[in-house]
Amino acid sequence: MNFMKRNKFYLLLIMMICICWGCKSKNMNTVTNEEAESTIVENSNDIKTNDNESKEESTEESAVKLSDFINPEGNTLFTRFITPKGYKRVEAAEGSFAHFIGNYNLEPDGTPVYYFDKREKAGNGHAAVFSMEVAEEDLQQCADSIMRIYAEYLYKSGKQDKISFTFVDGFVCDYEHWRQGYRVKFSNDKPYWEQSTNPDSGEETFKKYLRIVFAYSSTLSMEKESRPVDISEIQVGDIFIKGGSPGHVVMVADICENEAGEKAFLLAQGFMPAQSFHIIKNPAHSEDPWYYEGEIKYPLRTQNYTFDEGSLKRLDYLE
């Protein structure tokens, strides 16, 4: 009997120990779960904080609107585009190329870009469209649009003797020959001048001259007619160019400056297929079309093309 009592006593003692250990384990698990929950809450708070910071940054970006830089009533670059806060437009001397571009007529605000065949270009990558004629053929593309606006400036400012462009093969096609009645002929694919009509300096003759230039010139020839410039010296009419087939080129159309001398500028382009010459947006901040000197890094990403370092150049067309 004593033996059985001792056994029952030991069995009861073992059961009490197990129950106590089980309670202790449960308490340990409870603490672990509470710690885990606390960690999740802390992480959640961190995430919320980051979300709030992102929202604040997003709010700052969204606070800038395209309407802050556009006067829809303006019909030229100078009257349509508002300079960024703290910047003033660089004064353009009357009669200069910058003055000509700044006063070039624009299509009404909101006008889409059209291809040469009157189809509307998809997307919303432009901020304004120039009132520049695009013939109903696929000729006036990127380099051609820039050659045209330079030629129009020289033609309308009485400097017609300076209008001259080079074909890809190196042939110099100057307007002076053309208006004297000479025309470009080809022998074994080599161009040469031949007088074949009466002298004429009329607008239709000028347009026919541009057509032959567009047909045989490109970014390849344009790049050879330019020289590198530093971003600190940028001016209206300068270009970012990559010569090739295809290559691409965009032109500086307007410039403003802050008190520190830092510049901001607008870029204009034609493209392919032939289409309206237009001011492009800045993909870095699509609601603000200005490109800022301090932001320029290479490769430089523009609306439709990326340019490498050394691509900023100045054309020789006005010399």
- The pair phi, psi for residue 117, each rounded to 5°, is -95, 20
Identify whether residues 124 and 83 lie together within a single domain: yes
State the pLDDT at residue 63: 75
Over the stretch 79-132, which tens digit does the pLDDT of each residue have? 999 999 999 999 999 999 999 999 999 999 999 999 999 999 999 999 999 999
How far apart (Å, rounded) are the C-alpha atoms in residues 305 and 168?
22
Alpha helices in the chain (DSSP H): 2-63, 77-80, 97-102, 142-156, 175-179, 203-216, 219-224
Using 50, 70 and 90 to split pLDDT, how confident is the model at 175? very high
Over the stretch 257-299, which tens digit does the pLDDT of each residue have? 999 999 999 999 999 999 999 999 999 999 999 999 999 999 9
Q: How far is CA 284 from CA 10, 268, 303, in A?
A: 80, 16, 9
State the pLDDT at residue 246: 86
Q: Give the pLDDT mean for 64-69.
A: 90
- The type of residue at 168 is V
Identify whether residues 79 and 218 lie together within a single domain: yes
Single residue among 45, 63, 81 that ends a domain in this structure: 63
Identify whether residues 52 and 174 lie together within a single domain: no
Identify whether residues 111 and 129 lie together within a single domain: yes
Identify whether residues 223 and 240 lie together within a single domain: yes
How far apart (Å, rounded) are the C-alpha atoms in residues 264 and 270?
21
State the pLDDT at residue 160: 97
Identify whether residues 132 and 26 lie together within a single domain: no
Identify whether residues 46 and 180 lie together within a single domain: no
Identify whether residues 132 and 18 lie together within a single domain: no
How far apart (Å, rounded) are the C-alpha atoms in residues 2 and 260?
104
Nearby residues of 165 by Cβ (< 8 Å), 6 or more positions away: 147, 151, 172, 173, 174, 213, 217, 221, 225, 317
Single residue among 10, 34, 63 that ends a domain in this structure: 63
Identify whether residues 208 and 300 lie together within a single domain: yes
Identify whether residues 26 and 87 lie together within a single domain: no
* Residues belonging to the chain: 319
Q: What's the structural domain count of the chain?
A: 2
Single residue among 63, 87, 115 that ends a domain in this structure: 63
- What secondary structure letter does DSSP report for 106? B
182: closest CA among 168, 172, 192, 171?
192
Q: Name the token pair of 281.
A: 């947006």
How far apart (Å, rounded) are the C-alpha atoms in residues 244 and 247?
4
**Residue 37: left (phi > 0), alpha (psi -120 to 50), or beta?**
alpha
Identify whether residues 246 and 287 lie together within a single domain: yes
- The DSSP result for 274-291, as a single string, is SB--EEEP-TTSTT--PE
How far apart (Å, rounded) are the C-alpha atoms in residues 185 and 45?
77
State the pLDDT at residue 62: 53
Domain assignment of residue 226, given as a range? 67-315
Q: Name the token pair of 138.
A: 């696929």
**Residue 188: left (phi > 0), alpha (psi -120 to 50), or beta?**
left
Identify whether residues 112 and 29 lie together within a single domain: no
Which residues is 135 bridged to in the sheet? Answer: none
